[in-house]
Amino acid sequence: MSVRAAFDAARAEGRAALVGYLPAGYPDRDGGIEALTTMVRAGVDVIEVGLPYTDPVMDGPTIQAAAQAALEGGVRTADVLRTVEAVAATGTPTVVMTYWNPVERYGVERFADDLASAGGAGLITPDLTPDFAPEWIEAADQRGLDKIFLVAPSSTDERVAYTTAASRGFVYATAVMGVTGARATTSDLAGPLVARTRAAVEQQGTGLPVGVGLGVSTGDQAAEVASYADGVIVGSAFVRTLLDHADDRRAGLAALAALTEDLAAGVRRG
Amino acid sequence: MTLHAERAETGQSGARPLYQADEQGWFGGFGGRFMPEALIAALDELTVAWHDAMADPAFTAEFEQVLREYAGLPSPLFHATRLSERVGCRVLLKREDLNHTGAHKIRNVLGQALLTKRMGKKRVIAETGAGQHGVASATAAAYFGLDCTVYMGAVDTRRQALNVARMRLLGAEVVPVESGSATLKDAINEAMRDWVASVDHTAYLFGTAAGPHPFPSMVGAFTRGIGDEARAQCLEQYGVLPDAVAACVGGGSNAIGLFTAFLDDPDVAIWGFEAGGEGVETPRHAATISAGATGVLHGARTYVLQDDDGQTVESHSISAGLDYPGVGPQHAHLAATGRATYVPVTDDEAMQALALLSRVEGIIPAIETAHAVAGAIRVAEELAATKGPDATVLISLSGRGDKDMGTVMEYFGLGDQPQEGDA
């Protein structure tokens, strides 16, 4: 299934999609796959596999810690692609979220080929905007891969329109000004950003879904975001759950499943 | 000369000077702006504000005034006669070590802080490695009455405790960064994380001519006085242009500051000296252009020390100020076009040059700067052999060595043996 199909299926059920993130290779390669497939079984609609990177400027301490542990454990780009292959085999659409340099180093064409072969649906690129992505856009278009770019509260209307026009699969609205991480309260910047993004999408007539990431960690927060967004993106809360159970994997997976179920119920209440 | 061929081939088309960036920040295939969308509006705003300021005579006049009255500029161009005798031709030193706070860095921070004030922002953040840019930023913040937070790798705060104390005395908050390798690149990461959450009221005083557009061009514009002054001083004092100019290159702010004035002088050879650490054949160096590969780091496409997966590799240099696994994109472009030549200088070569300059001229350079001195001595000896004693080599003496005395004492075994527990 494509990312768009997963959003459309959720929309047909009158709810938002739940998008879940974990970095590949944490706690190790197989453990990461097990964690992601646990999230799939417990109700995540779209999976984001993070490619751990040495200089993650958009990530808060939680994701930094897991990514650093994965790198210290020796995770390689090839392991990320193997993780994608294993997760995509469940039938749940799977995208890679990555800073740009590892893709550039791997080779944009080669990465696109190998991602497509692994069954991956596309890429989320937090430090690559469409104006600096001609190579990736061409490679993605040739292979039908999703190009998920980000919009932010600071984006001008012009840039929101430009970014939604360049995106495929969904557009990722980062609804707080700040790094990734769970937050106790949802942002008052989210509503206006989603409204501006939707207006751009409507004008373009693409029906592109809008996913929102702003540090959601509970079902209630997910419900609130689901009331105005097409997708609720959760990352740090999943990662935190694994970090908190670093010495007991079985308990970690159980907690991960429980969190997923809570969030999945949340997007159905929204 | 290959550089002449390159210039003829590339042509001087359009209004944009050949070696400067285009509107998107591209220097040829290097530079650009590989950044989170959340910061694009701020970078656009900064670009517009900077262009606007540079076109405003009131801004440039105030910048010149603070450089003159506060920072002590222009710095002298000094004929190092005893060093000249040793190498066989004329060696000139652009004395940036005499500037307020002891290095060229004050030029950049005063420019950026003045711009911050003009933009109505009340807070500045900065990253620092050895602490020189942090001290300069804290100084400028004190002078302009701005709040200042400096991010510094935890490894570096321990190595450079004196500079931490200086920054705190100047009123800055110093935040030790524990993430990643806990050095300069991680301090930059943390400063960017601060900025994405504070960008509406905070300016990021970037410390070198690297990072996303407009920083490489803007830092180059604020530091280009080094070369503009030196070129005019050389012509005035000696009636000639130098045959070669030389600077050390970490991120590359003093180097681009020196080089810019000479880019369109085809007979002036341009040399950048990178930190060769324990040798570029070992993993322990910071010679990004000599031994790195093209990649994207901290917002720009440039040369990067990285592994096969594009993960940044930790650099090493005895000089904390050159200990960075990237380099400014304009240097990458100058290297690729052949207009400038970049060569590594090892830790040992730099330390020998530091000792030599101290003894023959009574000038203790920063260890960063000593890399330029070591490399320039080689260039000067070659020029003396081919052109004779009339050849002229001009070195950016980018900073003074007071901050490095701990390293120097340890390296040369100077002074009394330190007591147990001394830093």
**DSSP element (H, E) containing B361:** helix B347-361
Contacts of A181 in chain B (CB under 8 A): none
Kindly state whether residue B367 falls inside one of the protein's structural domains: yes
Q: Please give the pLDDT value at position B178.
A: 93
Do B196 and A177 count as a contact with CB atoms less than 8 A apart? yes
Do B37 and A53 count as a contact with CB atoms less than 8 A apart? no
Say how far apart CA B273 and CA B250 lie, in whole Å: 9
ipTM: 0.96
Assign domain A3-269 to its CATH superfamily: Aldolase class I (3.20.20.70)
Do B309 and A76 count as a contact with CB atoms less than 8 A apart? yes
Distance from CA of B296 to the nearest CA of A (A): 5
Do A77 and B193 count as a contact with CB atoms less than 8 A apart? no
Distance from CA of B389 to the nearest CA of A (A): 47
Are residue B209 and residue B336 in the same domain, yes or no? Answer: no
Task: Tell me whether residue B388 is exposed, middle or buried, using C-beta atoms within 10 angstroms of its C-beta: 0 to 12, 13 to 18, 19 or more.
Answer: exposed
Contacts of A128 in chain B (CB under 8 A): 34
On average, the pLDDT of chain B sits at 93
Kindly state whether residue B362 falls inside one of the protein's structural domains: yes
Tell me how many domains chain B contains. 2
Q: Which domain holds residue B280?
A: 72-102+224-412
Q: Measure CB to CB from residue A101 to each of B180, B197, B297 and give the nearest one.
A: B297
Are residue B120 and residue B234 in the same domain, yes or no? Answer: no
Q: Is the pTM of this model over 0.90?
A: yes
Q: Is the pLDDT of residue B7 over 90?
A: no
Do B36 and A150 count as a contact with CB atoms less than 8 A apart? yes
Within 10 angstroms of residue B65's Cβ, the number of other Cβ atoms is 10
Please give the C-alpha separations between residue A166 and each of A131, A136, B177, B268, in angstroms, as whole numbers.
9, 11, 36, 46
Q: Is the pLDDT of residue B421 over 60?
A: no
Are residue B131 and residue B261 in the same domain, yes or no? Answer: no
pLDDT tens across A228-242, in order?
999 999 999 999 999
Are residue B135 and residue B237 in the same domain, yes or no? Answer: no
Per DSSP, B18 falls in state T
**What are the residues of chain B with a beta carbon less than 8 Å away from any beta carbon of chain A?**
24, 32-42, 179-180, 185-186, 189, 192-193, 196-197, 199-200, 293, 295-299, 301, 304, 306, 308-312
Kindly state whether residue B278 falls inside one of the protein's structural domains: yes
* Residue at a domain's end among B219, B250, B282: B219
Segments of chain A scoring below 50 in pLDDT = none
Are residue B246 and residue B170 in the same domain, yes or no? Answer: no
Which among A59, A114, A146, A230 is annotated as catalytic? A59
Are residue B280 and residue B377 in the same domain, yes or no? Answer: yes
| Mean pLDDT, residues B241-259 | 98
With cut-offs at 50, 70 and 90, classify the pLDDT of residue B4.
very low
> Residue B33 is part of a domain; what is its CATH number?
3.40.50.1100
- Identify residue A180 by its one-letter amino acid code: T
Kindly state whether residue B16 falls inside one of the protein's structural domains: no
Distance from CA of A30 to the nearest CA of B (A): 20
Are residue B268 and residue B121 in the same domain, yes or no? Answer: no
* Residue at a domain's end among B219, B246, B274: B219
Q: Measure CB to CB from residue B34 to each of A61, A68, A132 and give the nearest one.
A: A132
pLDDT tens across B101-123, in order?
999 999 999 999 999 999 999 99
Kindly state whether residue B153 falls inside one of the protein's structural domains: yes
Kindly state whether residue B11 falls inside one of the protein's structural domains: no
Which among B84, B96, B121, B127 is annotated as catalytic? B127
Percent of chain B with pLDDT over 90: 88
Kindly state whether residue B9 falls inside one of the protein's structural domains: no
**What number of H helices and E strands is found in chain A?**
12, 9
Residue of A72, A76, A100, A127 to mutate, testing the B interface (most B Cβ within 10 Å of its Cβ)? A127
Residue of B22, B26, B30, B37 to mutate, testing the A interface (most A Cβ within 10 Å of its Cβ)? B37
Do B189 and A60 count as a contact with CB atoms less than 8 A apart? no
Return the SS3 of B20. Answer: coil
Kindly state whether residue B8 falls inside one of the protein's structural domains: no
Q: Which residue of A has its CA nearest to B42?
A: A154
Are residue B361 and residue B332 in the same domain, yes or no? Answer: yes
Active site residue B387: no
Are residue B94 and residue B109 in the same domain, yes or no? Answer: no
Residue of B127, B175, B309, B312 to mutate, testing the A interface (most A Cβ within 10 Å of its Cβ)? B309
* Residue at a domain's end among B219, B234, B266: B219
Backbone φ and ψ for A221, nearest 5 degrees, come out as -65, -40
Are residue B341 and residue B326 in the same domain, yes or no? Answer: yes
- DSSP codes, B100-132: GGGBTHHHHHHHHHHHHHHTT--EEEEEESSSH
Q: Is the pLDDT of residue B179 over 60?
A: yes
Active site residue A28: no
Distance from CA of B265 to the nearest CA of A (A): 33
On average, the pLDDT of chain A sits at 96
Distance from CA of B45 to the nearest CA of A (A): 11
Say how far apart CA B355 and CA B80 lie, in whole Å: 15
With cut-offs at 50, 70 and 90, classify the pLDDT of residue B180.
confident
Extents of the domains making up chain A: 3-269
pLDDT tens across A202-229, in order?
999 999 999 999 899 999 999 999 999 9
